Structure 1
Amino acid sequence: MAKRRRLTPARIGMWEEEAATPAPPIARVAGDASTVSALEEVTAELARARSEGRLVQALPLDAVDEGYLVRDRILADDEDLKALIDSIRARGQQTPIEVVALEGGRYGLISGWRRLAALRRLHTETGSESFGLVQALLRTPETASDAYVAMVEENEIRVGLTYFERARIALKAVEQGVFEDRRAALQGLFGSASRARRSKIGSFIPVVAALDGALRFPASLTERLGLRLAKAMEGSETLAQSLKQTLLREAPASLEAEQALISKALAPPPRPRGNRPGMRELRPGLSVRETAKGVTISGAALTPELKAQLLTWLETPR
């Protein structure tokens, strides 16, 4: 009878030994190369996302220069800013700001001034590290005009600018050499606006040029009052300078007081009484006006006594 072949029992630890057997060198090299390639691909993709503004970065507040551009918004409304502060305090920063990379590890603010201001206040108030960083997207505008356009468009969409603020940023962009002239600035910054709106912004530019720094409530200058002022300045060589001196001298403490001064400057001057047709001065303070219907005597010198004497004379038969 043939003997049956006996199977050798598996040795304890055999699988561990096989698992511990070193992989062939070529396999290790292939694995390492695959890992390095994957890391390089991820690194390259992160770099592209960062440069293309698709990667949100956490930047220290002190690393962001908010004066990189002349801001279009003159000042933040306290009520709106408080609402934003309360929102960030409760939910954190929901929308990143936009920045451009500068030298020395710093960043220039393009848009998001209100969010940056809110975080600064919260960090000062609480000292919390969570408010010491701002979420930001890196932008790479090709020209300074592109950066200004990005700032204006962001504010137009989110909050909207007053005509004074729109005209001011156009004027400042020209002064800094970003645009060749005012017309180019209006077209470059507000190209998507209607022609009528650009015309109104252009009308406000002389008002900004004359009164920026003298007005205490410039962002509250209404469209109607601003356009009236612009038109009046066109027809007067002295109005702008006279109004500026008045505003600086009076230093109005409220919006109502400031606009009252502007309205007063726009009021037409009273017509001199002596210029009325048919009026002639008899003596200082006493004038007579002769018409087909009769004679009119008037003036500061027509006292009650003089009036009584004239009536007595007229009543006396001749």
Structure 2
Amino acid sequence: MMLKTVTATFAKYVNLDELVYDITLVLLAVFFRGMIVPQGKTVLEILNPASAIVTVCVIYFFVSILLGSLYRRFSPYKEKHPVLINIVTFVLFATAGVLYIAINENLRGLRLLAAENMYIPYIAGIFVMPAGFLFGSSDNSSEGCRSAAVMISIAAGLAVFISFFYFVEEYGWLAGTGITLGGAGVYTLLLIGALYLSKKLFNEESKAAGVLRTVLFGILLPVIIAIILGFWQEISIIGQAAGMNAGDIVPRVLSSLGFYGIIPLRILMAAAPPYRIVNTGVGLASLTVYFFTLRSFIESLIAGVR
């Protein structure tokens, strides 16, 4: 009973997903970068073409799920405020579109992929990003989850087909075929698990399902998104550092925070009901810490280049 009271009081003043996102950003800026990236290296230096494609697809998938969940938070206002819903829908799609274009252009500019392979992230995004919107737009969350799984399975089928040629070219016929078939098998198991989980996850009669939803959407999803966007932020900045002057740092960082999703997604999370002023304060503090830490990191990169 005491735990329920504490939980209810906490939820009255704080949105868990926003708080987790903000804390993760600060931890990423201060601690995680040094833990995950080897000493003396940057994120850009540890990426290869395969890991770059995986990173981009992970960003597409989890950001689309977040946007879908934000759409669901506005869904109770469909009948009374249809104009608001239309505006929200436009903003969500615009955010996804800008992120999609910015990441692919960044990938092209950094030459992480050969020019002939640049179609892979473009095609993946076309299928993976709508999955979150399918999830969010369905009145029945379980059906929405299954629809999203179908869309992602189509994308995965294309990815297996495309990656087969890539792995064969890189590693030879035997190894390439083995890697592709192994990946397809793992994906099949994950898809079956996701479909099974969707039935349990959205069973309104199950108390455990409520806890699981909180863990997945309130904790894991914002943690993953903050980390992957934070690292892509670093990738994009590192690619620009060589041509930067001291006076370029602030405008470049701000534009990068905007184009690669950290600020827009945080604003959308704050705007989605219910609004909590505590989260706004924590969010501003978190973004401030992240900004100054990133600026300091860029200054060290510029000094190292020179």
Q: Give 1 or 2: higher helix fraction.
A: 2
Structure having the higher Rg: 1
Structure with the larger RCO, 1 or 2 (CA within 8 Å, 6+ apart):
2
Q: Give 1 or 2: higher strand fraction.
A: 1
* TM-score, normalised via structure 1 length: 0.20
